[in-house]
Amino acid sequence: MVFRKPPDGGWGWVIVLVSFFTQFLCYGSPLAVGVLYLEWLDAFGEGKGKTAWVGSLANGIGLLASPVCSICVSSFGARPVAIFSGFMVAGGLMMSSFAPNIYFLYVSYGIVVGLGCGLLYTATVTITCQYFDKRRGLALGLISTGSSVGLFIYAALQRELIELYGLDGCLLIVGALSLNILACGSLMRPLESSGSPPSEKTCVDKVPDQYFVYHEKGKTVEENISILEKGYVDEKCVNNMPDCKQDSILNKNVLSSINVNEKDTYKKKVVEQTNFCKQLAKRKWQLYLTYWKETVVLFKNKVFSALFVAILLFDIGGFPPSLLMEDVARSANINEDDYYMPLISIIGIMTTVGKLILGILADFKWVNTLYLYVTTLLMTGVALFAIPFAKSYLTLAMLSGILGFLTGNWSIFPYVTTKTVGIEKLTHAYGILMFFAGLGNSLGPPIVGWFYDWTQEYDTAFYFSGFCVLLGGFLLLLAALPCWNACTNQGSKLPPNTYSYKVASSV
């Protein structure tokens, strides 16, 4: 489908508003799961690595399923997907309140809520990119702050609800709040196509009603068999006239009770429906092959290949602090009376600031968004190396703020992806990249938890996390160097809507 030129305003700002609240409502609890993590440790008595799977699945499973989420959004549109996903998130949170063990939470909170969040994230990012071009960085920055504001508010809200109503009551109330996603999704009006006729019906809709023989009621099995026999006789008549006459005489008594017009109609229904099924199966197979061919083409792009490695390593190392920072403080024997604000809330509010500032910076022409993203990766790695040396609330709060701000690079990641592969391939490429991001989210917290279970301290775990993030940043930097672009561009031109990364000239 060819969309009309993005309006960069108008109803697009409504899309930004509802997308903000959608991410606020769906990601508030999963991102602030560190508060629930401590309660689940005490309630079920499992190890830190095993319990960390709940939060990591909730944040990772939706990203792991990003290719499927992208296909759903492309096939059904952002509005239906958002409404359906709202039921998933709310239902998963409410079911989690009745969890008898940690394994039940893997399904209810980890898979159901996580998959709903993944669908909602893909829907909000896709429809925002369709409505904005020149202000895309600002728009993505604004909607991505929804999850960060949700982290800031839900961290304190869930702690207060647990004190008042217990863990089960907290999850029920948070699930009821998530039903407001339905109202937000109903306002995600799709962008109309430009310069093209009204959208065509799907293959199934194009088939006339008379083709669907099984929709007819009141026909007995004997009558349908007779109709098939009539169709066989008619086809034989075309190829062999003498045999046709003999078969007609033999079947005359069987077919005499059926009206001639009715027999012809049913014959056409059976034949045309069979042809339709064959064509539909062939078309689906061609679409499947095309998808994998386009995937291979994407991975031939060096920047895209390095980008998927970087996002995988970044989420393995950079995501655990948002889930485990409260437990890090408790393991360091920091007195709770010294807490001025939950560390998770600090991460949330600074992530909001980071997303806004980085999103605004991405809109400046003199800023190279890829190098900006690489810078955030390298700084995140250094901050992770510093966590083992933080032994007071003040130092942990400062590192939480730094990590939160740098995690705001999520707001420019769709922008970098769009400039790398073009808006036409955004949904496809973004789904692949989010799959690897989800893999990192799912593996990161359990790995850190297992390191603690083995060593009874977090130092080794965060050294490992910092190394992963730094490695991803350096690999992406090497792939984006101008010398690679020069080699790639020899003898070939870049495809339209593809961004060639070069060092920004000094002004």
Q: Could you give the number of structural domains in the chain? A: 2
Residue 495 falls inside a structural domain: no
Q: Which of 127, 137, 116, 157 is nearest to 27 (CA)?
A: 116
Structure tokens belonging to residue 141: 């920055």
Band of residue 84 on the pLDDT scale cut at 50, 70, 90: very high
Residue 115 falls inside a structural domain: yes
| CATH (domain of 144) | 1.20.1250.20
Band of residue 394 on the pLDDT scale cut at 50, 70, 90: confident
Decide: 131 and 5 in contact? Cβ < 8 Å.
no
Decide: 54 and 110 in contact? Cβ < 8 Å.
yes
Amino acid found at 299: F
Residue 489 falls inside a structural domain: no
Q: How far apart are CA 496 and CA 268, in angstroms?
A: 47
* Most confidently modeled range among 123-137, 275-289, 492-506: 123-137
Shared-domain flag, residues 313 and 171: no
Q: Which of 414, 507, 450 is nearest to 137 (CA)?
A: 414
Residue 226 falls inside a structural domain: no
Residue 221 has pLDDT above 90, yes or no: no
Q: Which of 13-17, 138-142, 373-377 has the lowest mean pLDDT?
A: 138-142
Band of residue 261 on the pLDDT scale cut at 50, 70, 90: low
Structure tokens belonging to residue 172: 């029920």
Coil, helix or strand at residue 457: coil
Show which of 146, 175, 190 is a domain's final residue: 190
Residue 463 has pLDDT above 50, yes or no: yes
pLDDT, tens digit, for every residue of 467-495? 999 998 898 888 877 765 554 444 444 44
Shared-domain flag, residues 296 and 169: no
Residue 269 has pLDDT above 70, yes or no: no
Task: Give me Rg for the CA atoms of the chain.
Answer: 28
- Predicted pLDDT of residue 210: 42
Boundaries of domain holding 300: 275-484
Shared-domain flag, residues 295 and 161: no
Shared-domain flag, residues 158 and 283: no
Segments of 4-152 assigned E as strands: none
Residue 231 falls inside a structural domain: no
Structure tokens belonging to residue 82: 């958002």
Q: How far apart are CA 28 and CA 371, in angstroms?
A: 30
Decide: 30 and 58 in contact? Cβ < 8 Å.
yes
> Which one has a higher pLDDT value, 282 or 167?
167
Shared-domain flag, residues 319 and 468: yes
Residue 427 falls inside a structural domain: yes
Residue 265 has pLDDT above 80, yes or no: no
Q: How far apart are CA 432 and CA 336, in angstroms?
A: 42
DSSP 209: G
pTM for the structure as a whole: 0.63
Q: Can you name the residues that pair with 193 across neighbouring β-strands?
A: 3
Shared-domain flag, residues 478 and 339: yes
DSSP letters along 14-41, please? HHHHHHHHHHHHHHHHHHTHHHHHHHHH
Q: How far apart are CA 338 and CA 459, in angstroms?
A: 22
Shared-domain flag, residues 15 and 112: yes
Decide: 140 and 125 in contact? Cβ < 8 Å.
yes
Residue 17 falls inside a structural domain: yes
Residue 501 falls inside a structural domain: no
Output the average pLDDT for the chain.
76
- Predicted pLDDT of residue 365: 79
Shared-domain flag, residues 182 and 293: no
Residues 318, 500, 4, 116, Cα dihedral to 10°: -20
Q: Which of 352, 351, 363 is nearest to 406 (CA)?
A: 351
φ, ψ at 3 (rounded to 5°): -85, 150
Decide: 407 and 499 in contact? Cβ < 8 Å.
no
pLDDT, tens digit, for every residue of 303-329? 888 888 888 889 888 888 877 787 788
Shared-domain flag, residues 320 and 445: yes
Band of residue 280 on the pLDDT scale cut at 50, 70, 90: low
Q: Which of 254, 204, 208 is nearest to 233 (CA)?
A: 254
